[in-house]
Amino acid sequence: MFSLHPSSTIPVQFTFDRRWSSHIPLRPIPDVQQQWFDTLRTSPKSIRSVTVDTYSDPYYNSNRMQAWGVDGGPVQVELTADYYRALHSLSGFPNVNDIALRFTSDCVGRGNDLGSFCDFYLLEDHEHRIHVLDAFFKATAALCRAQRQMPGGGDQRLSTLTVRNLQNTPDEHVTSSDDFRETIRDMTALHLQICTEWNDDHALSRPDMVNFWGHLRSRWLEPLADQLETLTLYWDIDWGLYPLMDLRGLHFPRLKSLSLGTYVFGVDAQLDWLLSHKTLEHLSLDSCAICTSWNLGPYDDPDETPALRFALDNLAVREAYDPKGIHGPPADEWIFEYHSRWPTYFGRIAKELPALRRFQFGDAWDPWGYKRESEPNPYRDTRFEDRHLLGGELPGRYVDFMDTDHYEDTGLPGAYNCEESHAARLLDGEQKALDELLDVVRERNENR
């Protein structure tokens, strides 16, 4: 094991880095499908990992750019009968233990008409994705059953599942199916990247946006709680605080590796949940931020707004919704403040995760430099694919949440509403705390 230096980039290969000979892809390209069938006929037992792509170009996965007239995008192709025939033959590779399904990054919500010319180019709408998910889990379930029926019960199990650009729309039809339950039965590693409907309004309060996280928790995470050893959760916009993903009460007793991408901390309860997993040996925080202040609109009933109820239960109120000024100066919104900063987080991680031997913090490779923008970046899921490149740099890590539309960087490298000299001192303190955490991790590796 190695330890992480604050300025280093880590050449670690994870299960999602599929560059070995025992891997085979499936794409809607005749030559690739022929390679699949040839391998199925000649050397099926050699395959250990499979990637199923719904687009033609594995390195570029946004149809939207073609709508903008940009050359080099993926060819818009139909998933043919041969494509599905290949997918349904997955059980012919009996030793597969690692599979990935990769959609494009463009999606549209159920029944939505965005009124944009780009709609005509968003081929993977909700209905299409559900159809693909249904076919995919039928194929993986057949593989799992075939593996269990091998002589002696077999020694191979499908244990790792990756889904890139899973749309943030509840998919009850899929996740309530016997095929889905059969697939996750022996799963120990789950890697999910969520994609969001592209919308000029960036409305984070849309029903699917609000409701998806309860679905993700109850259908994807809770059934795996007792068996997961590796969990990766990424989204193409900021998440965790708003839209609210409340993980309190959900515990993974066997979890060794946790990776969070673009996750926003804004209450101590979120950090408490993370630190409750004393079994963690690897923690990766990619482009994660602390929200120091968040403004919510004038809601009449906090109990009908989960994020507002969560804030009222956990945060100090700087300004309460009081338009008539009954309790003080008139206020037309809720404003909450959060006072914990990264030095506190780093210190607690060092002290409260005794098994931690690898810590990654910073920004994974992002060719267009998108960090915490509200609009989904069509290239951003390369961060998910290349998260093994995550370094230990300490960029500006604080955001404010401005009503139900978007987050904004605070504008200072290490503080909120303070003078630049004070911000510089805070940044020095954060770097010192990060270095101390990395020293703890380094010492644990040296003493193994």
| pLDDT surpassing 80 at residue 357 | yes
Q: What is the mean pLDDT of the chain?
A: 77
Length of the chain: 448
Higher-confidence residue of 202 and 84: namely 84
Give the pLDDT band of residue 409 (cuts 50, 70, 90): low
- Give per-residue pLDDT as tens, 238-273: 888 877 888 999 999 999 999 999 899 988 999 999
Which residue is listed with tokens 């909120």?
Answer: 416
Lowest-pLDDT choice from 277-281, 293-297, 347-351, 432-436: 293-297
Give the pLDDT band of residue 170 (cuts 50, 70, 90): confident
Mean pLDDT value of segment 414-441: 69
Backbone angles phi, psi at 272, to 5 degrees: -60, -40
Range ranked top by mean pLDDT from 140-154, 301-315, 356-370, 404-418: 140-154
Percentage of the chain modeled with pLDDT above 70: 65
Number of neighbours of residue 94 by Cβ within 10 angstroms: 15
| pLDDT surpassing 90 at residue 281 | yes
Mean pLDDT value of segment 107-123: 54
Lowest-pLDDT choice from 137-151, 235-249, 406-420: 406-420
Reported pTM:
0.83
pLDDT value, residue 169: 86
pLDDT value, residue 321: 55
pLDDT value, residue 392: 59
| pLDDT surpassing 60 at residue 330 | no
Higher-confidence residue of 402 and 164: namely 164
* 3-state secondary structure string across the chain: CCCCCCCCECCCCCCCCCCCCCEEEECCCHHHHHHHHHHHHHCHHHCCEEEEECCCCCCCCCCHHHHCCCCCCCCCCCCCHHHHHHHHCHHHCCCCCEEEEECCCCCCCCCCCCCCHHHHHCCCCHHHHHHHHHHHHHHHHHHHHHHHCCHHHCCCCCCEEEEEEEECCCCHHHHCCHHHHHHHHHCCEEEEEEECCCCCCCCCCCHHHHHHHHHHHHHHHHHHCCCCCEEEEEEEEEEECCCECCCCCCCCCCCCEEEEEEEEECCHHHHHHHHCCCCCCEEEEECCEEEEEEEECCCCCHHHCHHHHHHHHHCEEEECCECCCCCCCCECCEEEECCCCHHHHHHHHHHHCCCCCEEEEECCCCCCCCCCCCCCCCCCHHHHHCHHHCECCCCCCEEEEECCCEEEECCCCCCCCCCHHHHHHHHHHHHHHHHHHHHHHHHHHHCC
Mean pLDDT value of segment 164-193: 94
pLDDT value, residue 410: 55
| pLDDT surpassing 60 at residue 362 | yes
Give the pLDDT band of residue 187 (cuts 50, 70, 90): very high
Which residue is listed with tokens 């299409």?
Answer: 128
pLDDT value, residue 312: 73
Of the candidates 112, 314, 105, the residue with the CA atom closest to the CA atom of residue 203: 112
Higher-confidence residue of 325 and 428: namely 428
pLDDT value, residue 314: 75
- Give per-residue pLDDT as tens, 31-84: 999 999 999 999 999 999 999 999 876 555 544 444 443 444 444 567 999 999
Structure tokens at 141: 């379930």
Percentage of the chain modeled with pLDDT above 90: 43
Give the pLDDT band of residue 377 (cuts 50, 70, 90): very low
Mean pLDDT value of segment 361-365: 72
Q: Which domains does the chain have, with CATH numbers?
A: 23-287+346-392 (3.80.10)
| pLDDT surpassing 70 at residue 415 | no
Higher-confidence residue of 1 and 206: namely 206
Euclidean distance between CA atoms 405 and 242, whole angstroms: 10
| pLDDT surpassing 90 at residue 197 | no
Range ranked top by mean pLDDT from 173-182, 201-210, 384-393: 173-182
pLDDT value, residue 364: 63
What angle in degrees, to the nearest 10, is found between the helix axes of 30-42 and 81-88?
30
Mean pLDDT value of segment 363-390: 55
CA 318 to the chain's CA centroid: 31
